[in-house]
Structure 1
Amino acid sequence: MIPPKPQARPDKTNFWQHLRLFRQDILSSQPARLYRAWMAEFRTPFFRSYLCNDPALVARILSERPEDFPKSNRIREGLSPLLGNSVFVTNGEVWKRQRRIIDPAFEGGRLRDTFPAMVAAGTASAARLSPGVTEIEEDMSHAAADVIFRTLFSIPIEHEIASAVFREFRTYQRTQPLLNLAAFLPLPRWMPRFHKPATRRSAAVIRGLIARLCQARADEIAAGNAPDDLATKIMTTRDPMSRETFTTEEMIDQVAIFFLAGHETSASALSWALYLLALYPQVQERVAAEAVSLGQAPDFAELSKLKYTRDVFREVLRLYPPVPMMVRENRCPETMRDRKVAPGAQMVLSPWHLHRHERIWPNPDAFDPDRWQTEENRACARDAYLPFSTGPRVCTGAGFAMVEGPLLLAMLVRDWQFARIEGRDPVPVAHLTVRAKDGIWLDLSRRLLG
């Protein structure tokens, strides 16, 4: 069975039809030809956008000349109430300063330090599950949020503030499309941005709760009794150029994106991973056989035992990349595949289409974890695999995610069997990340080992 994929729209639609479809779901609003096109142009009354699937163009934009293609403010329009001026939306010197402060917290040695917190979150997640029909996205959101709070602030999801942030974020998700109307219109900065009142209220509540966590941690740092976790590391790291640390308001912005990116993307990937294991029981059994080799409280060195599980997780990220599209803005006159591209154009890089491109990947829509052990596939991955972006703006947490994902997947499959429910296969849609239109429903039973 081929895993589910949204039905593409007809090739011919006008701007307003496309806008309506786009706001409902980015994935199903795209024509099928984009899975085999190297480049496609889309015109609006206000700007032009270009989808770039040519690996050479992707490399030019993300790796070779990233400063000529900064993050587009059109994505920022919809997320600004929550993210403020976080590293996810900034450009230029502001972004460089933010990365100089943030990156040291996610260097290799720090992953080993955060590993026990990930294990604790995985243990708690497996214990929370119960037999029977379950909507697994909710459970994986809970698990991923638990990882973030344990590694960032050394508190479990049951902590009063952590629990309140998680609940409020669920409300925020339901009110916030990936793009709002301001992303499509050339509005001056002084005009309102058309955010729903519920979105603004929810974002304000989340930021207020994060502010309480940041202020409490600042007080602990001043008193000399702060835990050695990611928040402490980030809040005490000085920019090597200016010697400044983040202000409290800047830290609120960064924690907001850590929670959004680190929790929402991991929840998406884990949910689709469990669905695919239910769809392919033989793959699930291979993961379970690997997972049995882990101790009840595995240490960092035991990750090396999860080779096949890691390939499963890579393949999940290929088929269901949590962030389906990225948008950059062209600053210079360009020629791309013999087209003149004027400054101000929106350059769309789509992991969703690149990862399923019919002219790059063999059998692109199939779920095949074994493909990651072939040289042919490694070549495809070098050209067209970017679940965490690439180049200078590669996701800071990419290494973190590739530890967290296989670990939690193995810990869950070690204790539980996940079975598909006939007639309830999920339909992928793009909200803040790639999620299922009506949730991912699975039938759970305890795994009997031995």
Structure 2
Amino acid sequence: MLPPKPPARPDKVSFLRYLRLFRQDILSAQPAKLYRAWMAEFKTPFFRSYLINQPELVREVLNARPDDFPKSDRINEGLRPLLGNSVFVTNGETWKRQRRIIDPAFEGGRLRDTFPAMWAAGQAAVARLDEGETEIEQETSFAAADVIFRTLFSIPIEDEVASRVFTQFRDYQRSQPILNIAAMVPLPRWVPRLFSRQTKDTAKAIRALITQLTAARMAAIKAGTAPDDLATKIMTTKDPETGQTFSTDEMVDQVAIFFLAGHETSASALAWTLYLLAMHPDWQDRLADEAKALEQRPDVAVMSKLRLSRDVFREGLRLYPPVPMMVREASCPENFRDRDIKKGAQIVVSPWHLHRQERLWDNPDGFDPTRWGTENGKTCQRDAYIPFSSGARVCPGAGFAMFEGPLILSMLLRAYRFDLVEGKVPVPVAHLTVRAKDGIWLRVSKR
């Protein structure tokens, strides 16, 4: 069976139709010219948005002047019921303090310590998978959540509280769009936000469960019985400038984003990468052969043997970046490419477009893991590849994800073959991350 072709890109899309299609099908929503443009302007009755798709402009916003382009509150409004004041939504000094406490937990040495937990989660994922037609996003979601709970709290996904968090979050991510009315209309602070009852109730339930886990860990830390995992590391790390640690309430906010970022994004990336491998069985066989190294070295040293898996996972992140767009706000008047940008304008940085920028990438829509060894691939990886953002606000878990993804991918491919299911072509849509409208269905068979 031939791999499905991507949908045709329209030449023009009105703003209102763009918003509607973005939620329904982000591929079809994007006008073809956006994959060639260095910059584009969107006009609304309330504000202006500017998509920047030129590496120099992206570096200016994310790397050179991040304080001048804070995260937009318009987008953050849709995430506050779950994330509170987590590091994902804060700005300024609050954000800097949070990162000073969080970053040490994800340094190289600490990542090596997480390998046994990741290995155990991978073994559990292999054992859970059945032969036959399978909705693979559900499986990768379970596996990614298992990794988070094992590395963060030293408990498997089967733990009662962990299982309830996972179930509630599955409902939340389907009910909460990436944009809500606050992203479109400049509502005053005193105006109630229009979240659905399901969104508010589910977020409240998730936070209550996380509070239960966090309070129990705080008590274990005080008693000297806490395991040496990521939660303990983060909760005992002092801000080097103030000497303060996170309170229980602050830690609840951070755990919420760790679960969102570490579970949602990894699940999305793994599922789309398996879909790409089902489209390219020759690559699947190459990775399965490489994964034989796991039989001899089930320890962290084996990661150096999984080079092809890493390149394939990197290519999956390029074609289907879990976070398709990031929105910043101009804190002062700017001029980009001879366009005057007013204070308060929205600056959209889009991995979805930058990773397929036709002026930069060779074969931008094609699946080619060998590109990372070419001069074009090396240049684009440096200048036009931001699946984890870039600069000061780069995801602190980027190294964690590039550790977890290739390992879980290799463990699954060592045990199973994945094939396309005729008539079930996944359509990417924008929930909290890039997911498939009706799931990603693959036929699973043992090797």
- Matching residue of 1:45: 45
Q: d(CA) in 2 for partners of 1:271 and 1:7? A: 23
Matches of 2:218 and 2:87 in 1, distance apart?
Answer: 20
| One-letter amino acid of the structure 2 residue matched with residue 129 of structure 1 | L
Deviations 1:52-109 (A, max 9, x none): 0011000000000110000000111111100000000000000000000000000000
The equivalent residue for 2:364 is 364
Q: Which residue of 1 aligns with 2:161?
A: 161
| Alignment match, 2:284 | 284
How much has 1:416 moved relative to structure 2? 0.5
Counterpart residue identity of residue 243, structure 1:
G
Identity percentage of aligned residues: 68
Q: Is the 8 A contact 1:4 1:425 kept in 2?
A: no
**Which string of whole-angstrom CA distances, capped at 9 and with x for unpartnered residues, describes residues 304-354 of structure 1?**
101111000110000000000000001121111111111111000000000
* Alpha-carbon distance in structure 2 between the residues aligned to 1:286 and 1:12: 41
Q: Is the contact made by 2:26 and 2:428 (CA closer than 8 Å) also made in structure 1? A: no
Does the residue aligned with 1:134 lie in a helix, a strand or coil? strand
Structure 1 moving runs of 4+ over 2 Å: 1-10, 15-30
Alpha-carbon distance in 1 for matches of 2:21, 2:303: 42
**8 Å Cα contact 1:176-1:199 kept in structure 2:** yes
Q: Partners in 2 of 1:46 and 1:384 — Cα distance? A: 31
* One-letter code aligned to 1:56: E
Q: Summarize the alignment of residues 184-263 of structure 1 with structure 2, pairs less than 5 Å apart.
A: 184-263=184-263
Equivalence map 1:298-317=2 (5 Å):
298-317=298-317
Question: Conserved in 1, the CA contact under 8 Å of 2:372 and 2:378?
Answer: yes
Secondary structure of the structure 1 residue equivalent to 2:173: helix
- Cα deviation for residue 17 of structure 1 reads 3.5
Number of the residue aligned with 1:11 = 12
Q: Could you say what secondary structure the match of 2:114 adopts?
A: helix
Q: Which residue in the other structure is 2:423 paired with?
A: 423
Corresponding residue number in structure 2 for 1:401: 401
Shift of 1:429: 1.3
Match of 2:438 in 1: 438
**Alpha-carbon distance in 2 for matches of 1:5, 1:393:** 32
Match of 1:144 in 2: 144
| 1:119–1:297 CA contact under 8 A, matched in 2 | no
Distance across 2 between alignment mates of 1:52 and 1:88:
21
Q: Secondary structure at the match of 1:335?
A: strand
**TM-score of the aligned structures, taking structure 1 as reference length:** 0.97
Where do residues 10-29 of structure 1 align in structure 2 (5 Å cutoff)? Answer: 10-13=11-14, 15-29=15-29
Instruction: Tell me, in whole angstroms, the C-alpha distance in 1 between the residues paired with 2:272 and 2:188.
Output: 40
3-state SS of the aligned residue for 1:99? helix
Supply the AA of the counterpart residue of 1:94. Answer: T
Judge which range, 200-209 or 242-251, deviates more: 242-251
* Letter matched to residue 378 of structure 1: K
Q: CA deviation at 1:260?
A: 0.5
Asked whether the equivalents of residues 2 and 366 of structure 1 are also in contact (C-alpha less than 8 Å), the reply is no
Shift of the alpha carbon at 1:26?
A: 4.6
- Contact 1:74/1:183, CA 8 A, preserved across alignment: yes
Shift of 1:213: 0.1
Structure 2 stretches lacking a partner, 5+ long = none
Q: Secondary structure at the match of 2:357?
A: coil
Conserved 8 A contact 1:27-1:430: no
Aligned-partner SS, 2:28: coil
Secondary structure in structure 1 of the residue aligned to 2:87: coil
CA distance in 1, matches of 2:429, 2:257: 21
Cα deviation, residue 20, structure 1: 3.2
* Structure 1 residue 258: Cα displacement: 0.3
* Residue identity opposite 2:286 in structure 1: R
Residues 278-321 of structure 1 show CA distances to partners (whole Å, capped at 9, x for unaligned) of 11000000000100111277111110101111000110000000
Q: CA deviation at 1:21?
A: 3.2
| C-alpha distance in structure 1 between counterparts of 2:13 and 2:413, whole Å | 44
Contact 1:6–1:427 (Cα < 8 Å) also in 2: no
| Structure 2 CA distance for aligned equivalents of residues 373 and 139 of structure 1 | 31
Contact 2:23-2:431 at 8 Å conserved across structures:
no
Q: Count matched residues.
A: 446
Match of 2:91?
91
SS of the residue corresponding to residue 331 of structure 1 reads: coil
SS at match of 2:78: helix
Q: For residues 64 and 2 of structure 1, what CA distance do their matches in structure 2 show?
A: 41
| Distance (Å, rounded) in 2 between the aligned partners of 1:424 and 1:28 | 17
Q: Which secondary structure state, in structure 2, belongs to the residue aligned with residue 266 of structure 1? A: helix
TM-score (norm 2): 0.97
Contact between 1:51 and 1:347, CA under 8 Å: does it hold in 2? yes
